[in-house]
Structure 1
Amino acid sequence: MPSGLVALLDDVAAIAKLAAASLDDVAGAAGKAGAKAAGVVIDDTAVTPRYVVGLSPDRELPIIAKIAMGSLRNKLLFLLPAALALSALAPWAITPLLMIGAAYLCFEGAEKVWEAVSGDSHADDVLEVSDPKELEDRQVGGAIRTDFILSAEIMAIALAELPAQTFWMQAAVLAAVGVAITAGVYGVVALIVKMDDIGLHLAERSASGVRALGRGLVTAMPVLLKALAIIGTAAMIWVGGGIIVHGLEVFGLETIPHIIHGAAEAAAHAVPVAGGVVEWLVGAAGAAVVGIVVGGAIVALLHLIPRKH
């Protein structure tokens, strides 16, 4: 009996070690896969705060919560099963779908650039809706639809970066990526949209230093939102272009990727002190050029050509 108990405890310990190792594998793989999607995550974080513009401050956090739940639903109920099915049945389709999503990101970014240059913006359309509930539903619905595209890119990038894994390991890693990124993105978004309220609260404190910090937060809020809009647009173009460049390499169309990689390596050799940083910056700039060309072509097709009729 004692020897049987010892053997049982050894088995339990072995199972526990295996489970711990599996959790470590999931966490490690999720971290690496999620890091590759960082550009889209930045874009998602930068884009979302604009969906609470024009809404009551006391509804900001509930609206962010609704969008976060919609994002989680997008990732876990729709995109996760689709990604697993693609991986099992049509892995060849992952790269083309990534490139299609990347083209959409390029289009979104290029359209924002066009609106900034031309002054033809649709950002004020939401102010035409007078019913608060209708406006809230419209904003939440629009945010969840945009999130679906960004979430699809995040899950596809994560799937493409996974090494050979079992079906359940892939499912666990993608679920971990989806939950972690959703929590991170919408936690930061909630903090951003309430920063002015936090600043006002601190500005009413008695300590002069705290009051100064509060006033600084209130003053910084418009600057931060403008910076996030620029960062989000740049991230769309850069990430989309980078995915397209990588896709061209996968399909053997290496002229453009070769030019970008060659320019990045040459720049790194020219500045050996910060070679790695310079190489990344030049590579990112090359991807952004590809992104703005692709996005600009789509904008021209959808917006400029119809206006000639």
Structure 2
Amino acid sequence: MPGGLAALLDDIATIAKLAAASLDDVSAAAGKAGLKSAGVVVDDAAVTPRYVTGFTPDRELPIIWRIARGSLFNKLVVITPVILALSVLLPVAITPILMAGGAFLCFEGAEKIIHALTHKQDLAEEAEELVEPGHEATMIKGAIRTDFILSGEIMVIALNEVAAEGLAMRAAALVIVAIAITAAVYGVVGLIVKMDDIGLNLAQRKLGATRALGRALVQAMPKVLSALALIGTAAMLWVGGQIIVHSIGLHPAEWLGLHHGFAAWLADVALCGTIGLALGAVIVGALHLVKPAKAH
């Protein structure tokens, strides 16, 4: 009996070790997949704060929470099962879908730059626009719709990074990526949109250093939001361009004789971003040509 108990305990220990190793493998796969999609994540975090512009402070976090729930539903219930099924039944479709998503990111990034150059209305003016009844539900639906596109790209990029793994490993990695990225993005977004309220609260305190910190936060937030928008746009162009050129077997950094290290990465960012901007501008121009033709 003691020998049987010892054997059972030994089996349990072995199973525990295998489970721990599997968790390590899943975590490593999820980390690899999540890191590759970081550029889209930055844009997701940069875009979302604009959906709570114009609402009273007490509605900001509830709106973000509803968008976050919609985002998680997009990733876990809709996108992940579809792309996992494709990876099994039609794996050759993953690369074209990835490239289509990359082209969309290039288009979005280029359109933002063109819009910024041709429209002078700034964020302050947009924030003063009247929020009409029913506007909250409309904005939430619009945010979730936009998130679906970005989430789809994030999850396809993530799947592409773990495509060589087994189905169970792929599924586990994608679930971890979906939950972790949603929590990270909307946690950061919540902090960003409440930062001015935190600053105002600190600015009303008695301690001089605290008041100064509060005023600095309030003054810094417009610049932070502008910087986030700029970083998000650059990230879209870089990731979109990189997806396109790498999917067709090109590595722009190698054109300059760079293969490894920070210099190669920086060259890849600059060249892929430039290619992404050029491709996006072509798509924007083509769409503007098609729209007048449809009108006739």
Per the normalisation by structure 1, the TM-score is 0.89
1:87 has 2:87 as partner: yes
Aligned AA (1:284): V
Q: Partner of 1:290 in structure 2?
A: 275
Give the root-mean-square deviation of aligned CA atoms.
2.1
Q: Partner of 1:167 in structure 2?
A: 167
* Partner Cα separation in structure 1 for residue 196 and residue 289 of structure 2: 39
Asked whether the 8 Å contact 2:55–2:131 carries over to 1, the reply is no
Q: Partner of 1:68 in structure 2?
A: 68
Asked whether the 8 Å contact 1:42–1:232 carries over to 2, the reply is yes
Q: Deviations over 1:48-94 (max 9, x none)?
A: 11111111211000011011111100000011101210111111111
The equivalent position to 1:281 in structure 2, one of 243, 247, 266, is: 266
* Partner Cα separation in structure 1 for residue 131 and residue 58 of structure 2: 18
Q: Partner of 2:19 in structure 1?
A: 19
Asked whether the 8 Å contact 2:53–2:127 carries over to 1, the reply is no
Asked whether the 8 Å contact 1:155–1:174 carries over to 2, the reply is yes
Distance apart, 1:155 and its partner CA: 0.8
The equivalent position to 2:254 in structure 1, one of 244, 252, 262, is: 262
Distance apart, 1:303 and its partner CA: 2.3
Equivalent pairs, count? 292
Q: Partner of 1:130 in structure 2?
A: 132
When residues 77 and 99 of structure 1 are mapped into structure 2, their CA distance, relative to the original with a 3 A threshold, is same
* Partner Cα separation in structure 2 for residue 190 and residue 125 of structure 1: 17
Asked whether the 8 Å contact 1:111–1:295 carries over to 2, the reply is yes
Asked whether the 8 Å contact 1:264–1:283 carries over to 2, the reply is no
More displaced, 172-181 or 276-285? 276-285
* Partner Cα separation in structure 1 for residue 161 and residue 266 of structure 2: 22
Q: Deviations over 1:79-115 (max 9, x none)?
A: 1101210111111111100110111111111111111
Q: Which runs of 5+ in 2 are unaligned?
A: none
Q: Partner of 1:232 in structure 2?
A: 232
Distance apart, 1:276 and its partner CA: 2.6
Q: Partner of 2:56 in structure 1?
A: 56
Q: Which runs of 5+ in 1 are unaligned?
A: 250-256, 269-274
Q: 2:257 aligns to what SS in structure 1? A: helix
1:77 has 2:69 as partner: no
More displaced, 56-65 or 156-165? 156-165
1:217 has 2:217 as partner: yes
Asked whether the 8 Å contact 1:75–1:155 carries over to 2, the reply is yes
Identity %: 59
* Partner Cα separation in structure 2 for residue 84 and residue 30 of structure 1: 15
Distance apart, 1:239 and its partner CA: 0.8
Asked whether the 8 Å contact 1:195–1:217 carries over to 2, the reply is yes
Matches within 5 A, 1:62-211: 62-119=62-119, 124=126, 127=129, 130-131=132-133, 134-162=134-162, 164-211=164-211
Per the normalisation by structure 2, the TM-score is 0.93
